[in-house]
A and B are shown apart, each in its own frame.
Chain A
Amino acid sequence: MAQARKAPRPPDSNTAGLARRQSALLRLSASIASAQTEAEVCRAVVDGLHDEAIGYDFIGVFLLDPAAGERVLGASVGWDDIPHGMRIPRGQGLSARPLLDGTLHYTPDVTLEPEYVAGLGSGSEIDVPLRAGDDVLGVLVVESREPDAFGPVDREILTASAQHAAIALARIRLIDEQRRLAAAERRRADERQALLDTITDLSGSLELSRLLDAVLTRAVTLLDAAGGELATYDDRTGELVVAANHNMTEDSRGTHLKVNEGAMGLVVTTGEQMMIPDYQTWAGRSPQYARIDARAVVVSPLMMGRRAVGAINVWHEDPKRTFSEADCRLLALFGQQAAIALENARLFAAAQRERQYFEVLVRNSPVAIVVLDVNHHVQSCNPAFEHLYGYAQREVIGANLDDLITTPETRSQAVSYTVQAAQSRTVQGIGQRRRKDGSMVDVEVLAVPVIVDGVRTGMMGLYHDVSELLSAQQVAEAANSAKSQFLANMSHELRTPLNAIIGYSEMLEEDATDRGHGDYVPDLQKIRAAGRHLLALINDVLDLSKIEAGKLELYLETFDLTTAIKDVATTVEPLVARRTNTLTVHCASDLGAIRSDLTRVRQVLLNLLSNASKFTEHGHIALDAERRGAAVVLRVSDTGIGMTAEQMSRLFEPFSQADTTTSRKYGGTGLGLAITRRFCELMGGDVSVQSDMGRGSTFTVRLPVDASIPLGEAPAATATGAAPESAQRAPRGTAVLIIDDDPAARAITHRVLAREGYEVIEAADGDTGLRLARERRPALITLDILMPGMDGWAVLAALKADPDIAGIPVILQTIVEDRNMGFALGAAEYLTKPIERKRLASLVRRHVPNKSSGPVLVVEDDEHTRTLYARTLEKAGWTVLQAENGRVALERMAAARPALVLLDLMMPEMDGFEFLDVVRQDETRRDIPVVVITARTLSPDDRQRLNGGVERVLQKRTLHSEALLAEVRAAAANAVPQHVR
């Protein structure tokens, strides 16, 4: 920096020099004044003071950068190796001083100043502030190699120059500011125009791709960017798809971007605009954009409320260019427009789809549909309408609908529908309408107002051709009424002669008695009794056929059950007394009133009581009534002759008195119980029987408290009456029920099972099978598929649909090969015919314990658990032995050989492992299957000890009773009973 310096000019050396200097100063002022830029001002100051007439050699003008607080060198002379634009930090060097206090600072000997930043190295320096008003805009620095080289004149010259420069700078800055403001104003106007154009585009066209193109092009153009992209986002797939691009090197449309991939992928998750100063060095760039030349990038999400529907970006190629705040704001505005466009397009597409859907629906509907405007003129109709009425669509459009399809007779109804629908009500009815050819058609009409945005725009008429339905209904009704009439007539025709038979025989009986012909009396009595029997039969058949035809209607009324029961008891009193029986009636105090058919309830009780009287002699009959939740239970028990299981199974069938000889001996039609059962079912209840041959029978009737809520459906019954209800439920028997129409197949199965020690019940058809299943609750059912009437599939479905009997395992035995269907319907096993005896026997054993299986030994130290298992098994028909540890278990085994052992492992005295060791050593007992039930998780060591010694290991905590039973059955089935070997 050191340069030869002219000697400082001695002030006032001569007048000629003074004049020259004066003129140089004037030139300096002029050139400052004419400067157009800050740089020109700085240059003018430096050059002017360097003029020979003034003669400074080392001059610099620093301008203050207010933001950084630094001085920036605007122009200089003499300091040759100092670059233009050099910056001096705040507070550094001598030239910092005027900035602090706004005054001139003179340093006569720079070597004495510690703050001096080495420039020339020695000499003097003067620092003059460039002041405009209160602001200091910069510093004028003049140096000399000589110490104390500046005098008062120098101060004057330099102060004046600095002032001129400061004024010029302030002026230029003002002008710049004004220009900038004007430009911003122009730009805002442009933005508004661009947005306006965009909006116009948006409303003018609904073609989405063109719209998005337009938005993007405008954004790129307006931001003067090199290029840009717009992508749509589907939050269901989590992907962005580029929908429009502008000035990309390759067409990027269709490019898929995942969420968080690239800049657009990021903003759809953040919902915030993002600015990337240099894309080339940005860490988040997507590999899909490896070849793009973008530098500064700004990205905006397209938001609908809080939901991102896409993203837009624009970018500069020129590394020197950036996006301003205004640019960002503008892009955000475009983003909003694009989001709206996307949403509109989506709604439009959805509406379009919906319209197409409804069009297809209407076009293909079998229901005739016609749409009317507010003036009742036809707007459109569907093919079904054309077909129904014989009009082509073009013939009806614009016409008044009522003119087209009504006759004078039906018009008023049609008009009333139209008027009501016009009052925004939906109207439905059945009527007749006229076809084009004048014929009439029965239709179900639905008139529906069409309301759009709260405004009625017309109505819709829907017509369903019901002529076939109506005629079918009429035929059915006629047939039904003919049948009822026939029954009534038959009954009348049969009764009239019976009337005579009974009446005359009674008269003759009286005459014979009166006239002393007592020997005729027994025969006459027989005639009368036969007549009475025939009459009862006719009555019962009439009842039964009315029930079967669904003609028997209930007359529901609420009545006091206790009163009704006492009435019935009084009525049957003579009957009971006839065979010297006694009757006791007990009604629980909480019996209360029920809603049912009083006549039928009386009839049911009369039937059961007269039955009981009939089959009991010198005995006792009891009628008990109690309430159980939503049900009342009426029990009629007697000490009469009772029945065998076989007799019971046919008891409720029409014409099936327990014994063909009974009707001769005891009378009765054999229809009473069938009717009783049907009455009970009709009233939503049921009837069941329990009987011991020779000891008496108990008939149990369950009726719902409200006959309109049948027992199976009454929620209250399960809520309040669950426990006693299930306790009351007949326990599952040990019999096996065979349902098969083929007598030979039944016989074989029967023999196999009987040999295995099972009690066997047979049913020759599905209905009987179902009934027996309900009454007898067999332990297992074998079921044939191909049967006349109700086939096996239907029987299986019905079995599984009845919660009371759904748990009974069913073995399908059939020639039909459809295991999947069988298992899907809930069959437990599937056997194909011809019957394999061994296989059948083992399958049945798997599901049913039989007497030969022997007891189950439960070895478990926890008393609660042990009792639980025992009770579960006993309920399923097993005999159970209990032991609280291994030692006791061995004692029990010594007394009776169990069919199976359920074994806990952790027990005091002798644990499960030790017990097993002992048993496995014993030749006679090692083959008894053992099922381990344990709460502990078995270690490999444990498993080693059990290895091969046990049938199954079950986890205690996951073991419910059904699973336990299944395991026990399976294990017991594998152990073939001793005596069969």
Chain B
Amino acid sequence: MPTILLVEDNEMNRDMLSRRLKRKGYDVALAVDGLEGVTMALAGGHDLILMDMSLPELDGWEATRRVREAETAGRHVPIIGLTAHAMSGDREKALAAGCDDYDTKPVELDRLLGKIEALLARPA
């Protein structure tokens, strides 16, 4: 089963989203801030990363940039950025930082699952 790394600082959101993903059959690894997210992402073993953008220590954009910088050639973990801002420009900003897709919170689970499946189906 694919493993998803969820980087989210809000405990409730983290708990809720991870449980709903697990229910849909995914393995979920958790990180609580940007720094931990980067460390875990670089340790490897995840098929996809869900990255909240407003994080303590290191924000999601910066964390995404670091992950992309550290990735060796041929390796690319899909990252979906999540923000609660829904401000115009957020999407562009997330993609520019290295995200493969973007979604707004509160999460509409079906929509998010669609995006996850699409990215996982993509040949690496």
Contacts and interface: CB of A to CB of B under 8 A. Distances in A.
Interface string B97-113: 00000000111010000
B93 interface: no
B13 A495 contact: no
B109 A496 contact: no
The binding surface of chain A is classed by DSSP as helix
Contacts of B12: 497, 499-500, 504
A488 B13 contact: no
B107 A499 contact: yes
Interface in A509-567: 510, 531, 535, 539, 542, 555
A696 to B, nearest CB: 32
B85 A503 contact: no
Contacts of B76: none
A498 interface: yes
B70 interface: no
B107 A488 contact: no
B3 interface: no
A491 interface: yes
Interface stretch (B14-22, B31-39, B55-63, B116-124): B14-22
A506 interface: yes
Contacts of A488: 85, 87
A488 B89 CA distance: 13
Nearest to A484: B87
B16 A492 contact: no
A506 B105 CA distance: 14
B86 interface: yes
Nearest to A502: B106
Contacts of A497: 12
Contacts of B54: 492
Nearest to A493: B84
B72 interface: no
Interface string A631-645: 000000000000000
B95 to A, nearest CB: 16
B48 to A, nearest CB: 19
The binding surface of chain B is classed by DSSP as loop
B88 A499 contact: no
Interface string A967-980: 00000000000000
Nearest to B82: A499
Contact of A496 (B13, B17, B20, B88): B13
Contacts of B84: 491-492, 495-496, 499
B17 to A, nearest CB: 7
A500 B13 contact: yes
Interface string A226-265: 0000000000000000000000000000000000000000
A800 to B, nearest CB: 38
B85 A491 contact: yes
B107 A503 contact: yes
Contacts of B10: 496, 499-500
Contacts of A542: 86
B16, B84, B106, B109: most-surrounded residue (chain A CB, <10 A): B106
Contacts of A499: 10, 12-13, 16, 84, 105-107
A451 interface: no
A965 B19 CA distance: 75
A507 interface: yes
Given A496-B10, A498-B106, A507 B16 contact: yes
Contacts of A492: 54, 84-85
A504 B16 contact: yes
Given A503-B17, A503-B20, A507-B20, A496 B86 contact: no
A503 B13 contact: yes
A507 B19 CA distance: 9
A750 B20 CA distance: 61
A506 B109 contact: yes
Interface in A874-922: none
B86 A503 contact: no
A82 B23 CA distance: 161
B87 A503 contact: no
A500 B17 CA distance: 9
B109 to A, nearest CB: 7
Given A491-B85, A492-B85, A599-B88, A500 B16 contact: yes
Nearest to B20: A507
Contacts of A531: 106
A495 B88 contact: no
A599 B88 CA distance: 10
A688 B23 CA distance: 48
Contacts of A495: 84, 105-106
Nearest to B10: A496
A497, A499, A510: most-surrounded residue (chain B CB, <10 A): A499
A692 to B, nearest CB: 37
Contacts of A504: 12, 16
A510 B86 CA distance: 27
A500, A503, A507: most-surrounded residue (chain B CB, <10 A): A503
Interface string A389-430: 000000000000000000000000000000000000000000
A491 B84 CA distance: 8
A507 B10 CA distance: 17
A599 B19 CA distance: 34
Contacts of B109: 503, 506
Given A496-B10, A503-B13, A535 B106 contact: yes
Contacts of B20: 503, 506-507
Contacts of B85: 488, 491-492
Nearest to A599: B88
Nearest to B84: A495
B81 to A, nearest CB: 14
Contacts of A535: 106
A499 B19 CA distance: 14
A542 B17 CA distance: 25
A531 B19 CA distance: 20
A535 B86 CA distance: 12
Contacts of A498: 106
A495 B105 CA distance: 7
Nearest to B17: A503
Interface string B43-86: 00000000000100000000000000000000000000000111
A554 to B, nearest CB: 10
Contacts of B13: 496, 499-500, 503
B106 to A, nearest CB: 4
Contacts of B105: 495-496, 499
B86 A539 contact: yes
A539 B86 CA distance: 8
A496 B105 CA distance: 8
A498 B84 CA distance: 10
A507, A535, A539: most-surrounded residue (chain B CB, <10 A): A507
A555 B105 CA distance: 24
A157 to B, nearest CB: 138
A82 B88 CA distance: 129
Interface in A465-518: 488, 491-492, 495-500, 502-504, 506-507, 510
Contacts of A503: 13, 16-17, 20, 106-107, 109
B124 to A, nearest CB: 30
A503 B10 CA distance: 13
Contacts of B106: 495, 498-499, 502-503, 531, 535
Contacts of B88: 555, 599
Interface of A: 488, 491-492, 495-500, 502-504, 506-507, 510, 531, 535, 539, 542, 555, 599
Given A488-B87, A503-B16, 9 more contacts: A492-B84, A495-B105, A499-B16, A499-B107, A500-B13, A503-B20, A504-B16, A507-B20, A539-B86
**Pairs A-B, 6 closest by C-beta atoms:** A499-B106, A495-B84, A500-B12, A503-B16, A492-B84, A502-B106
Interface of B: 10, 12-13, 16-17, 19-20, 23, 54, 84-88, 105-107, 109
12 contacts: A492-B54, A496-B10, A499-B13, A499-B107, A503-B17, A503-B20, A507-B20, A531-B106, A535-B106, A539-B86, A542-B86, A555-B88
